[in-house]
């Protein structure tokens, strides 16, 4: 985990090309003291890093983000609410193409289509 103690997760489902995780961001993490004091909001870059780490766990390999065709942050997230990360992927050697959607309750708050490389 790049940012120690930022989140905890639980894998909810897994297939050969998709998985779902419940993710809880720690509202007491020092990151939120500066983003923003009194009104913590999870930075979008944390979603990207978390998605990369979850995908790496799902495929059993270290991954590096090498490109993104689309990244959309649709709503802000405050850390007291858990998120659902839905990930799917396909291999196109030497790359792994991932599609990630992030939900708070039933609302999609972020999504991305990205390319990763095994490291």
**Residue 117 CB burial class (10 angstroms; 0-12, 13-18, ≥19):** middle
Domain boundaries, the chain: 12-118
Strands (DSSP E) found in 15-94: 18-25, 63-73, 83-92
Q: Which two tokens stand for residue 82?
A: 């858990």
pLDDT digits (tens, 9 = 90+) for 81-101: 999 999 999 999 889 999 999
Looking at residue 41, what is its pLDDT? 94
Looking at residue 68, what is its pLDDT? 96
Sign of CA dihedral 110, 115, 118, 119: negative
CATH topology of domain 12-118: Thiol Ester Dehydrase; Chain A (3.10.129)
**Residue 94 CB burial class (10 angstroms; 0-12, 13-18, ≥19):** exposed
């Amino acid at each position: 985990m790049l940012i120690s103690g930022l989140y905890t997760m639980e894998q909810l489902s897994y297939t050969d090309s998709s998985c779902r995780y419940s993710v809880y961001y720690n509202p007491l993490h020092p990151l939120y003291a500066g983003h923003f004091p009194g009104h913590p909001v999870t930075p979008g870059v944390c979603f990207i890093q978390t998605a990369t780490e979850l995908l790496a766990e799902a495929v059993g390999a270290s991954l590096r983000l090498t490109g993104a065709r689309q990244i959309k942050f649709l709503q802000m997230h405050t850390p007291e609410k858990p998120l659902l990360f839905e990930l799917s992927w396909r291999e196109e050697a030497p790359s792994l193409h991932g599609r990630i959607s992030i939900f708070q309750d039933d609302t999609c708050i972020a999504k991305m289509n990205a390319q990763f490389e095994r490291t």
